[in-house]
Structure 1
Amino acid sequence: LTLDMLKLHLLRVRNALVRECMAEFLGTFVLLLFGCAAAAQVKTSRETKGQFLSVNMSFSVGVMSAMYLTKGITGAHLNPAVTLSFCVLGQVPWSRLAPYSLSQLLGAYVASGLVYLIYYDAIMEFSGGVLTVIGPNETASIFATYPTEHLTLGRSFLDQVVGTGMLLLCILCLGEKRNTPAPPGLIPPIVAAIVLGISVSMSGNCGGAINPARDLGPRLFTLTAGWGTEVFTCYNYWFWVPILAPLVGGVLGSCVYLVFIHWQLPDPDPADDFFVLSTISDKIKQPSTKWESEAELKSAHL
């Protein structure tokens, strides 16, 4: 064995779930590092080094980068609302929901900590050394999302339900072979464009989290880094909205996709089904023939 082969043999994680959790952790870490770093730059420079659009674009670039990075391992969920929706749709086992969500949460937390270290001096200079959640020199919004003062609790909940519902509605069609599927290599930038569209149109009310891990991970970090319990108690304990509402919105968006699109598409071409069945039959009749891929083997069991 060569040295490189030996390293690969020793360092490759054997447990599939652990590998998937590592991917979800790193992907969410990359997503939040891009987004929160941009928010820190815009906030601490008092919008002299970027504007609100800069943050939206950075989160979108983070989505695209994270998807290219992890899509081959888990499909790049990066969001508990996405994982929950895929579980409801039967595309992901329910046993993956908790491990994926915790990995995403941890990735968001660690990314927030790194952004804090990178921008520590700027944050302290901007805030005068006082870490606050509300006020002209607040810095908590660099990390987690917060509502505008005029927004009601019910309206903010609706805001997050609609935003996350649009996310799932628009991404579920990308792999639909009976519709107009996107080329696999272009799915990450397409999803990034969808996220950007949602951000620039539906983030003015309460930051457009549309991702429980994206909000709760940084919020937990600010709790432990000196902002205190006010990150959870401010705005009449608003913190639960960007956690629960995206979960509801993701499932609703998935259901809308099923009812209005997926179940209404033309049935598969019988000729295609005959070809697939014939191919599988030929494989079964020839035991010595090796399956070309794991995906082909799985399709034979269906």
Structure 2
Amino acid sequence: MSSSDIFIGEVIGTAVLILLGGGVCAAVTLKHSKARNAGWLAITFGWGFAVLTGAYLAGGVSGAHLNPAVTVGLAIEGGTEWGKVPLYLFSQLLGAMIGAVLVWITYYGQFQAHLTDREIVGGPGAQDTVKAVPNSEPGPVLGIFSTGPEIRNVAQNLATEIIATVVLVLAILTQGLNAEGNGLGVLGGLITALVVVGIGLSLGGPTGYAINPVRDLGPRIVHAVLPLPNKGGSDWSYAWIPVAGPLIGGAIAGGLYNIAFA
């Protein structure tokens, strides 16, 4: 597998993953969206279909890791060369950022309407200012871009992300990925998508189940730099947890695979 294949496949696959996954969050969250308030089931299935689409697009090109935790798990398991890991991670982060920008473009009008609505941002004159939401607080649309806990408890939040990611990566590794790390195959993409739906339904409640460092970090960076009115802060104090937790979970899954299944 060439470096160009890895770069192209991971950028495109991850961009589509974030476009569809972030897109369902935008659809459910934003005013003047036909899917507003569709709920958690819509979000979990939307993310599952996002994984499915991204995996099928990139599977034959890069192996469709689309997730640094998967890449780390595969490297520990032996299916991916460690020398290729930095390229995978860079490509995934770039793709995630592109996907987040595409969500903003797709829902541009809804973002503007939502973030200038006094019921959302509060206060008289909110429609005329870009400072209505304090920059120290997570903004009203941050959840479209990145995850956040319902209860802020560092140990619990980190453990939740680790546990959920172990389930994801172990489920992928046990599908028979070959030694070259060439992907999941036709049925594997569907199985992985259903696993993601299951994780969202069962384990996603506490933290929003990042289970993918670039799924959270890339869009969070985009949220920080986009010219969104009244966007508030990007919650950087929490941002390390959905990066570190999935990476730890991926590493644990790779080790467990070698102990129990190899």
| TM-score of the two chains, using structure 1 as the length reference | 0.73
| Alpha-carbon offset, residue 259 of structure 1 | 2.1
Q: Match of 2:171?
A: 170
Indicate if the aligned counterparts of 2:77 and 2:257 stay in contact, CA closer than 8 A: no
Partner of 1:61: 49
Equivalent residues in 2 for 1:218-297 (5 A)?
Answer: 218-226=219-227, 230-233=233-236, 237-260=237-260, 262-263=261-262
Tell me if the contact between 1:35 and 1:62 (Cα under 8 Å) persists in the aligned partners: yes
Alignment of 1:146-161 (within 5 A): 146-148=148-150, 150-161=151-162
| 3-state SS in 1 of match to 2:44 | helix
In the aligned structure 2, how far is the partner of 1:91 from the partner of 1:151? 36
Equivalent residue in structure 2 for 1:31, among 17, 28, 39: 17
Task: Measure, in 1, the Cα distance between the counterparts of 2:112 and 2:215.
Answer: 23
Q: CA offset at residue 122 of structure 1?
A: 0.9
- Residue by residue, what CA displacement relative to the aligned partner does 1:105-160 show, whole Å, maximum 9, x if unpaired? 1111011111111112112212226585757x701111111111x23011000000
Letter in 1 for 2:144: I
> Residues 151 and 205 of structure 1 are in contact (CA less than 8 Å); yes or no, is this contact kept in structure 2?
no
Give the unaligned 5+ runs of structure 1.
1-14, 178-182, 264-302
In the alignment, what sits opposite 2:121?
none
Q: Over aligned residues, Cα RMSD in angstroms?
A: 2.3
SS of structure 1 residue aligned to 2:240: helix
Q: Within 1, Cα distance between the matches of 2:89 and 2:23?
A: 22
Percent of paired sites with the same residue: 31
Report the equivalent of 2:202: 201
Q: Deviations over 1:47-90 (max 9, x none)?
A: 64622211111111111111111111221100011111111122
Residue 144 of structure 1 corresponds to 146
More helix by share: 1
Distance 1:77 1:173 in 2: 14
1:78 lines up with 2:81 in the alignment: no
Match for 1:253: what amino acid? A
Q: Is the 8 A contact 2:170 2:254 kept in 1?
A: yes
Mean Cα displacement is larger for which, 213-222 or 197-206?
197-206
Give the Cα separation in 2 of the matches to 1:207 and 1:245: 13
- Counterpart amino acid of residue 3 in structure 2: L
* C-alpha distance in structure 1 between counterparts of 2:199 and 2:206, whole Å: 12
SS in 2 for 1:175: coil
Q: Find out whether 1:97 has 2:85 as its counterpart.
A: yes
CA–CA distance in structure 2, aligned partners of residues 224 and 97 of structure 1: 27
Relative to 1, partners in 2 of residues 1:95 and 1:143: Cα closer, same or farther, differing over 3 Å? same
Q: Which residue of 2 aligns with 1:127?
A: 115
Deviation at 1:229, TM superposition (A): 8.4
Deviations 1:214-250 (A, max 9, x none): 00000000111146783144xxx11100011100001
TM-score (norm 2): 0.84
Q: Distance in 2 between matches of 1:226 and 1:140?
A: 13
State whether residues 79 and 212 of structure 1, in contact with CA within 8 Å, keep that contact through their aligned partners in structure 2. yes
Query: SS state of the match for residue 147, structure 1?
Result: coil
Q: Alignment partner of 1:77: what SS?
A: coil
Q: Distance in 2 between matches of 1:16 and 1:75?
A: 11
Q: Aligned residues, how many? A: 238
Q: Which runs of 5+ in 2 are unaligned?
A: 117-126, 179-183
Q: Structure 2: which amino acid aligns with 1:216?
A: L
Cross-structure match for 1:116: 104
